[in-house]
Structure 1
Amino acid sequence: MTERPAQRTPNRQLAALIAEAGFSNAGLARRVDQLGLEHGLDLRYDKTSVTRWLRGQQPRGTTPALIAEVFTRRLGRRLTAQDLGLDACAPVYAGLEFAGSPEEAVDIIGGLWRKDSGSHAELRKIAFTPAGLVVPSRDWLIGRADEKVARTEVPVRIPAQGRPATPRLAVPLDPSRRRAAPAERGPGQKVSGGDLAALRSVGELFRSLDDRYGGGHARQALVRYLEHELEPMLRGTYGEQ
């Protein structure tokens, strides 16, 4: 005998949000299609598609994130695919979340830089759309300025367990060939005036390259600098000034 396919569980979370937003099935499908066009996607969803989602079928690709964005714009609060009872995928609004604290802002931009690195950068697969700025711009306008941005606490690092220490052998070196090893920056390290001066110089360099050759010329070099140099600075220790 052939086994019956597993019965899907109705998506009550999605049903509740559809009722809250006042959407019809056809209306939700139409908005998802329209948002897809903003991101360069030719989608052909209809009311039957929404009925299948309500019955427990999972939409594929970036569709869960598009559906979440439709509800975010309608209800005025940030919703994710999980909030709708859908499988998570790469958000179409990557980097557009409005952070509630400086620490959260560093997490968001750090994730954004990592999405933009490598030959298969996820960020470059997401089309730009001005409409995506609506929610974060609103949150910024009604939000308050941070009262404190200084970081004075050094995070406690817990050593990895069960990793035996490997003894290092002292090897005499020729003094003429000895070089100072570059200091590896890590979380909690104090940011100095020299660090800021170097950051400004690097910024001027990339601005000059952008003016002369366009933004794509040194994009990956800039992303790597931001990820490996600037992000550790932002996670370091520094004062208000």
Structure 2
Amino acid sequence: MNTPNDQLAYWLGRSTISNKELARLAQSKAREWGQPNIAPNATRVRRWLEGETPRPPVPDILAGVFSDHFGFRVTTYDLGLGEGSSTDAALAYDPSFAVTVEVVADLGRADVDRRKFLAAAPFAAVAGVGPSRDWLLNTLDQEPEPGPRVRIEDVLSVKNMFASFQRMDVLQGGGSGRLVLAEYMNHHVYPLLRRSHDDTVRRALCEAAAEQTYLLGWMAYDNGEHSTAQRYLIQSLRLAEESQNAPLGAHVLAGMADQATLLGNPAEGRRLAQAGRQGLSRSESPACLADLWCLEARALALLDDKVAAARAVVQSERAYERVDLTTEPDWAAFIDPAYLHGEHANTMRDMGDAESAEQHARRSIEHAKKQKRARRGAMSQAALAVSHLQRRDLDGAYAAGLRTLSLSGQVKSSRAVEAVQDLQRRMQTFGSDRLVADFNERARALVAAA
């Protein structure tokens, strides 16, 4: 027996639309959307109210009807009709700014509500192809909704919050404060995007929203929620394009490249990093360029192109020599030696160059320790441990592995836990050695908690 749909009943009652009128409006909206065969009647509406779930695309059509009636966004989720098309919408790079605003707002609400589709939806391996291309090619238009105009002071208050949330991520891990940031975005930032702005304020607001939407994606990525991360990153890229900030868009592509490579698609990771570099051709951000070369090197190492990977590491280091953090944006603050040497250590590890991997890992560890960055320290200690394993030095690997465990326990980061698990797999070649058994025993609690 179906459970009555109280949410649909609420919105229908609030609208004062009758069952018969809702059926008529749904038919009209269906024809508008090119679905003339969808023709509900009042009886069908009654069954929906009784708990029958209409087949797609009827939930989206009903959401469109109620949105038109009220003059603001009403989603299929609001109507008790599931997720509608919101899963796929967040993977799309829509040319309409108005559509983008609604998609990213829906995504933020879904994230805070912890709706199942975000956790269950798979990472789409080639979803970055269209967005990265469109970011390079699109010209944009927008017709803002009427209402109080956004002031530059509103934007500055948003930007001032970014450093706090970014530092929370760096020091505590992506799983620590993401839902707090999502709540902040849902209540204070995304609503501003719906209001009217002059061109200067609009670009600044989109830049601030893109920065924090990227950070939401990065935090989800660090916490192992890859489908959620992918959707935030794509929408962040669209907002970055609206802001006309090429370095910021390139920075988002770097995050997308990192995720693609981590999830086993280094060819896509390389292509995204190259797109970011191409977008930087007319702008200046040595920190972002160093990051893009760094991530391209990571991908090339996994593609077994050792010569090109080593060359990309050199290009990354040369770009970083020109960095002046006083002129770089806030989001570039942690593209620094701790991060870059840590990633170069992973590149060298994947190339089988244990000596170079150790050198880069130790440099990263030194910088991370000074900054009290446990997550970066954990991942670089793991890279150091692997460099020992590659030289059959189990004692050295065990010692670095214990430091990895200690640091990983200080943050909420799936990447740190995955580094521990990677060490466990690599130690299997040493069989039942007592150090391997002890490390696995110590790692068990950390992995189980994650």
More helix by share: 2
TM-score by length of 1: 0.47
